[in-house]
């Protein structure tokens, strides 16, 4: 990490063009899928972000060789272990590192992983019970302690019908495990996010050859396993990051700029639908071109109420950024998250900057528009909350200091370089005193209002 705290000041409208990086949430399971083969897997369009670096470290601790060449990663799991290296650090753990559980278990009949890291946006941290219960239905037995989870499947995994609730990560884990399982696995409540479809596309290229069927309308996925036969290697290009694209689209809209988001338009039109629908309702003009998406706000920002949900509904990972966007709308909007408990953690800090809200529950707020935001000292409590505070800093009067900025670096490639194109000035600051968020007046105004 480059710093704990950063100061952002000075900005002009977000205009020009920006290259959208490969999707973090697609790359992590694609990297884990290399465990299903002893051949070489080449991933193109991999973002250079800290979460990917941590996933590389995790895979290497299991014996995987990973070579980095620009935006390309070459992975080969010729000889892998069921347990991570005892020298690997807890600090290298991410939510994505838990995705090695399914493929390791399917290949070696045993797997030991640490509890997942990532953003603490659920009570008690990231839940892993969905993963464990699904794999137990496929024949695994559980051993667990405070730091680690160990699963065994002495007779190998077997196909089954899984009707229980499935998160995105659980769906990915089960799909990968089912590729090497004996028989057919049917997931009836599967997540069907674009990142999962991208994983299935790569698995088919690795030798599943259409043995993974997807019904996106019924949230159903069927996998015919290979009974322990390893898959082949392949070369695969990671899809664009729809969350990064959505963040910068909001950035252009909130600052009154005109921005071209450079990405494959054929893929973009499939993965960006729910976000673009809401942007258009807010008065933002969007148009696909031969090399990406043109975004430009025309007139005032209209208030748009949103409830998040699984794809193809509005993504929870863009809700914090939308909250910031709605502070500048001409009216009030009501926003609700159905996925996580702490998705509104950044509201406290937006209040410090001058925004006003009405709280209905931990998952639902009304945003009062027409806020005159002012630069303040705030904290990025998680990755997407940090991105939302960056957007707020772009329209705030004065300089904004963001503590724990390393969260943002987990998911946004070259964010400083991209923002500098719009005249944003960054300054790394020495670590601040623990628990300090600004002046007493700012603190009490935040609490009282």
Looking at 14, 34, 119, 179, which residue is catalytic? 119
| C-alpha–C-alpha distance, residues 33 and 199, integer Å | 8
| C-alpha–C-alpha distance, residues 57 and 52, integer Å | 9
Hey, what are 46's tokens?
């991999």
Active site annotation includes 234: no
DSSP 328: T
Q: What is the DSSP string of 82-135?
A: SS--TTS-GGG--TGGGGGHHHHHHHHSEEEEEPP-S---STTSS--HHHHHHH
| C-alpha–C-alpha distance, residues 153 and 256, integer Å | 56
**3-state secondary structure at position 38:** coil
Q: What is the CA radius of gyration of the chain?
A: 22
| C-alpha–C-alpha distance, residues 429 and 400, integer Å | 12
| N-term to C-term CA, the chain | 34
DSSP 195: H
Question: Which ranges of 256-290 would DSSP assign to H, the alpha helix?
Answer: 265-271, 273-281
Length of the chain: 449
| C-alpha–C-alpha distance, residues 100 and 143, integer Å | 16
The catalytic residues are 119
């Amino acid at each position: 990490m480059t710093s704990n705290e950063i100061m952002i000041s000075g900005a002009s409208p977000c205009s020009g063009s920006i290259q959208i990086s490969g999707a973090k949430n697609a790359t992590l399971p694609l990297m884990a899928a290399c465990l299903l083969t002893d051949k070489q897997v080449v991933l193109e369009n991999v973002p250079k972000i800290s979460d990917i670096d941590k996933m590389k470290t995790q895979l290497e601790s299991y014996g995987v060789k990973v070579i980095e060449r620009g935006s390309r990663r070459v992975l080969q799991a010729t000889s892998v272990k069921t347990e991570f290296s005892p020298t690997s650090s807890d600090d290298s753990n991410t939510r994505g590192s838990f995705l090695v559980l399914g493929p390791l278990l399917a290949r070696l009949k045993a797997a030991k992983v640490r509890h997942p890291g990532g953003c603490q946006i659920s009570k008690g941290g990231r839940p892993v019970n969905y993963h464990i219960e699904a794999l137990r239905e496929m024949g695994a037995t559980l051993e667990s302690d405070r730091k680690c989870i160990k699963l065994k499947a002495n007779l190998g995994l077997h196909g089954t019908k899984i009707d229980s609730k499935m998160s995105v990560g659980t769906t990915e884990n089960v799909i990968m495990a089912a590729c090497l399982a004996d028989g057919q696995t049917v997931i009836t409540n599967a997540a069907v996010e674009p990142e999962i479809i991208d994983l299935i596309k790569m698995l088919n290229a690795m030798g599943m050859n259409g043995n993974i069927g997807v019904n996106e309308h019924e949230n159903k996925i069927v996998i015919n396993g290979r009974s322990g036969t390893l898959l082949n290697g392949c070369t695969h290009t990671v899809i664009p990051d729809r969350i990064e694209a959505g963040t910068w689209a909001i950035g252009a809209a909130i600052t009154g700029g005109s921005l071209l988001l450079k990405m494959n338009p054929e893929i973009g039109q499939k993965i960006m639908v729910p976000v673009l629908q809401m942007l258009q309702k807010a008065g933002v003009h969007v148009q696909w071109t031969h090399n990406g998406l043109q975004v430009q706000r025309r007139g005032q920002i209209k208030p748009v109420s949103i409830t998040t949900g699984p794809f193809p509904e509005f993504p929870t990972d863009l809700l914090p950024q939308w909250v910031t966007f709605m502070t500048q709308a001409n009216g009030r909007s009501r926003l609700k998250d159905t996925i996580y408990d702490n998705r509104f953690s950044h509201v406290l800090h937006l209040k410090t900057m001058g925004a006003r809200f009405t709280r209905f529950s931990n998952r639902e707020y009304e945003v009062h528009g027409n806020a005159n935001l002012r630069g303040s000292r705030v904290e990025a409590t998680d990755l997407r909350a940090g991105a939302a505070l960056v957007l707020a800093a772009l329209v705030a009067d004065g300089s904004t200091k963001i503590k724990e900025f390393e969260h943002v670096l987990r998911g946004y490639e070259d964010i400083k370089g991209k923002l500098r194109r719009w005249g944003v000035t960054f300054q790394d600051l020495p670590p601040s005193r623990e628990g300090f968020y600004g002046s007493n007046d700012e603190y009490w105004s935040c609490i009282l209002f």
